[in-house]
Amino acid sequence: MRLLLVGPPGAGKGTQAQFLAAHYSIPHISTGDIFRANLKAGTDLGNQAKAFMDRGELVPDSVTNDMVKDRLTHDDVANGFLLDGYPRNVAQADVLRAFLAENKTPLQAALELSIAPEEIIKRLSSRRTCRACGASSAAGATNCSSCNGADLYQREDDKEEVIARRLEVYKEQTSPIIAFYQNEGILLTIPALGTVAQITDQAITALSKLA
């Protein structure tokens, strides 16, 4: 299975990526992990990225694209992969399409996790984070669901006004990817509502219908 996940912040892409990658026995490839691995290893690409980050600048698409393309040459992607957090814009999607076509490994599906903005704001703004271990807990929790710590707080990026801005940025920069993959004929959309298991089951059911 060669798959990518798309959807707004708060849709649960990271959580679903882990379960789907395990189900299909494919690597979960996130841009965050790729960046950290390159920075830690001190690769040429990692050093290029670090130079931009040290100046407080965004890492350009060209460096991000090269990191992802390099990751997709590793042996563990022979039976497929799940991309999470990439591509973030249509320009990156074009580069990915060309690279995969060249290697005769086109994407089989772009799975969109669809959820209303007001539901995302409600979900994320009610979240609390543990100062001790950094894990997130649901609304109403008095102790951390991970370490049982009692010092829970609301992160700045979980405040309603910040979430609303993040959703605007997503709409402007990333949502055109949905139209891109719809035109490619590989977009599958499922609602990101219900329990984690219910959403995973819906995703697997949708993916099972691929020709």
All structural domains of the chain: 2-27+74-116+173-208 (3.40.50.300)
Which two tokens mark 46?
Answer: 């990692």
The DSSP 8-state label assigned to residue 159 in this structure reads S
Find the catalytic residue in 69, 122, 159, 166.
Answer: 166
Assess contact for 153 and 131: CB atoms under 8 A. Answer: yes
What is the percent of the chain where pLDDT is above 70?
A: 100
Per DSSP, the three-state class of 136 is strand
In single-letter form, the type of residue at position 191 comes to P
* Residue 57 confidence (pLDDT): 81
Q: Is the pLDDT of residue 157 over 80?
A: no
Find the catalytic residue in 50, 69, 88, 122.
Answer: 88
Distance of CA 162 to the CA centre of its chain: 19
Q: Is the pLDDT of residue 205 over 90?
A: yes
Assess contact for 93 and 177: CB atoms under 8 A. Answer: yes
* Residue 146 confidence (pLDDT): 85
* Residue 149 confidence (pLDDT): 87
88 catalytic? Reply is yes
| Average pLDDT of the chain to the nearest whole number | 90
- Pick the closest to residue 3 from 28, 37, 22 (CA basis): 28
Highest mean pLDDT of the ranges 63-67, 118-122, 172-176: 63-67
Residue 112 neighbours by CB under 8 Å, 6+ apart: 5, 6, 7, 178, 181, 187, 188, 189, 190
Q: How confident is the model at residue 211 (pLDDT cuts 50, 70, 90)?
A: low
What does the alpha-carbon distance between residue 87 and residue 181 come to, in Å, rounded to a whole number? 11
97 catalytic? Reply is no
φ and ψ of 37, to 5 deg: -65, -45
2 catalytic? Reply is no
Find the catalytic residue in 50, 69, 122, 127.
Answer: 127
Q: How confident is the model at residue 156 (pLDDT cuts 50, 70, 90)?
A: confident
Q: 20-79, pLDDT tens digit by residue?
A: 999 999 999 998 889 889 889 999 998 988 888 888 887 899 999 999 999 999 999 999
55 catalytic? Reply is no
Find the catalytic residue in 36, 155, 165, 171.
Answer: 155
pTM (2 d.p.): 0.81
φ and ψ of 149, to 5 deg: -65, 155
